[in-house]
Amino acid sequence: MKRRTVAHSVAKRGRGVWSGQEVTVRLEPAEAGHGLRARRDDCGVEIPLHVSGVRHTENCTVVGEPPHVVSSTEHLLSALSAFGITDVLIGLDGPEVPLFDGSAAAFAEMLQEAGSVELSGEVEPIPLTEPILVAEAERAILALPADEPAFGYVLDYAHPLIGRQFALYKPHRDDYATELAPARTFVTQEQAEALLRAGELRGGSEANAIVVYADHLSAELRLEQEFARHKILDLVGDLYLLGRPLLAHVIAYRTGHTENNALARRIAEEAKRNG
């Protein structure tokens, strides 16, 4: 896989769902070997976006060394993975990546606008030599050796408006911009109210997530199996914190960012052992 960066700088402003702050996110060209890095312009700190720097995984993925962290990295990283961007500087004037409408559509549009250019050098994919399983209670995620990547997700939720869903995404065969990027995050009314009471959802609204009420959804769905597709979107983003493409079939059952990052750490450890 050739190294790639964005051809032109591009920016978009939106609200951070956790802080409630308006934040501008910019994608800027970078040299080969720069990797995926975020620069907090509000505090002058540059943060490598790598699995080794993950500090928090409840509700979103947070990378960096407190107090200089970047929250909600998963949707942007998912889009960067799909567009093959290996080297980019992500400028932020706040503590988190804006959620926009709760999907990765805004980031896909930014990358389409920015274009991309090939850099010198290549990025070697990570091949698995054996299956890796992360399982706890009623959650499990399994990565199997494969010649090309594929991601599947089984969503099994007690709420009748969510229920059981299954989605499959094959990066080399499916169109990310139409089949995965538009899938929005979702939250039940009870979960949203609990987060609001805890003061953790300062910028949350029906504009940046699908709220699942007892008898209706806050918005019409865009895609079949949209909730399961969004879980794959998150999974792809979290695994791109490896900094290299992954050659594996990954199947997840009822998992979230915590399990995604646990799998990424296991894969990173195996890759290090195998050189």
Active site residues: 257
Q: Across the strands, what pairs with 141?
A: 134, 252
Which region holds residue 212: left if phi is over 0, alpha if psi is between -120 and 50, else beta?
A: beta
DSSP 194: H
Q: Across the strands, what pairs with 107?
A: none
| Contacts of residue 185, Cβ cutoff 8 Å, sequence gap at least 6 | 99, 102, 103, 208, 209, 210, 230, 234
The token pair at 210 is 């699908």
d(CA 274, CA 271): 5
Residues 267/242, Cβ–Cβ less than 8 Å? yes
| Contacts of residue 269, Cβ cutoff 8 Å, sequence gap at least 6 | none
Residues 50/36, Cβ–Cβ less than 8 Å? yes
H/E segment holding residue 228: helix 226-239
